[in-house]
Amino acid sequence: MVASAKASHIGGALSMADLLAALYGGILHVKPEDPRWPLRDRFILSKGHCCTALYAALALRGFFSIDELKTYGQEGSRLMAHVSHAVPGVDFSTGSLGHGLPHGCGRALAAKRKAEPWRTFVMISDGELDEGSTWEAILFAPQHGLDNLIVTVDYNKIQSLGNVEDVLELGPLSDKLRAFRWSVREVDGHDHHAIHRALVEVPWERGKPSCLIAHTIKGKGVDFMEDKLLWHYKSPDAGQLEQALNQIGCPG
């Protein structure tokens, strides 16, 4: 997708791919044949620039055809290069950072007010933890006892123009979130079993929102992309694409 559309953001898509695999592989209650099923778990991708990974997960789950993925970012396609609610299975469009978690809080609050059992999952990036609006929502969720809200942080430690520690260091992130009254766990964001074990047990504490800090590697799975800021921007050429697909064991 990224190569044929000459798009960007493959690094951040690969860093959260394992999280999405765990979520769509056995955590989220969804019905691909009925994307707006009222009792589905809501999933909000706040790091909307990395939507290729989500589109792939949705296509693999049968929300739309795998063939349609070829249209990503092309003229007239609904597969926009920032996640779009025009796509079956996508609940909310993002692209500007710091919007997903406040929206997710509203969804979770609605479920609470209506006493409905579905949950809201929000995937955020480490970079957007710079946004004040994200912290407004972090204050809000525990205040309203949103234990039906689950945030996963794709903590790959590289943001748009540098390493997180060199731009606005987030650590100690777990301690900060606990101080903000969240229930927090950390996990290897590429260990499917560990991610599943953590998420299958939410909420971890009654009355508190859950935050899974997933330690990830930007560009995970492709050696020349791993931990490289360059792959926030660069689009692989034909040779790099073939090499990358071979490395992740995926036929072109």
Partner 1 sequence: MRTAFIQELINQARRNQSLFLIVGDLGYSVVEPFAQEFPDRFLNAGVAEQNMVGVASGLAAEGYHVFTYSIANFSTLRCLEQIRNDVGYHKAPVTAVSVGAGLAYGNLGYSHHAVQDIGVMRALGSLTILSPADPGESRECVEWLANNPRPSYLRIGKAGEANLHDIRGIANGPIEVKRSTGKIAIAATGSILSVALEAAKLAEEKGIGVSVYSCPWLHPVTPDFFAPLRWFEHIFALEEHMPYGGLASILRDAPLLESKVHSIALNPEPPASVGSQRYLRDMSGLDANSILNRIVSLS
Give residues in contact with partner 1 (CB under 8 A): 85, 91-96, 98-99, 101-111, 113-114, 120, 132-133, 136-137, 139-140, 143
Separation CA 32–CA 60 (nearest Å): 10
Q: Please name the residue that has the structure tokens 């939410």.
A: 202
Separation CA 138–CA 115 (nearest Å): 22
Question: In the bound complex, what is the minimum distance in angstroms from residue 136's beta carbon to partner 1?
Answer: 4
- Our CB check for partner 1 shows the closer of 107 and 218 to be 107
Question: In the bound complex, what is the minimum distance in angstroms from residue 120's beta carbon to partner 1?
Answer: 8
Separation CA 164–CA 168 (nearest Å): 6
Calculate the CA dihedral of residues 12, 17, 20, 21 and round it to 10 degrees. Answer: 180
Question: In the bound complex, what is the minimum distance in angstroms from residue 146's beta carbon to partner 1?
Answer: 10
- Our CB check for partner 1 shows the closer of 17 and 129 to be 129
Question: In the bound complex, what is the minimum distance in angstroms from residue 105's beta carbon to partner 1?
Answer: 5
- Our CB check for partner 1 shows the closer of 32 and 95 to be 95
**Residue 6 exposed, middle or buried by CB count within 10 Å (0-12, 13-18, 19+):** exposed
- Our CB check for partner 1 shows the closer of 176 and 185 to be 176
- Our CB check for partner 1 shows the closer of 12 and 98 to be 98
Phi, psi angle pair for 243, to nearest 5°: -60, -45
- Our CB check for partner 1 shows the closer of 3 and 110 to be 110
Separation CA 202–CA 248 (nearest Å): 30
Question: In the bound complex, what is the minimum distance in angstroms from residue 141's beta carbon to partner 1?
Answer: 10
Question: In the bound complex, what is the minimum distance in angstroms from residue 98's beta carbon to partner 1?
Answer: 7
CB 231 within 8 A of CB 219: yes
Distance set, CA 187 to CA 19, 40, 148, 196, 218 (Å): 10, 25, 20, 10, 15
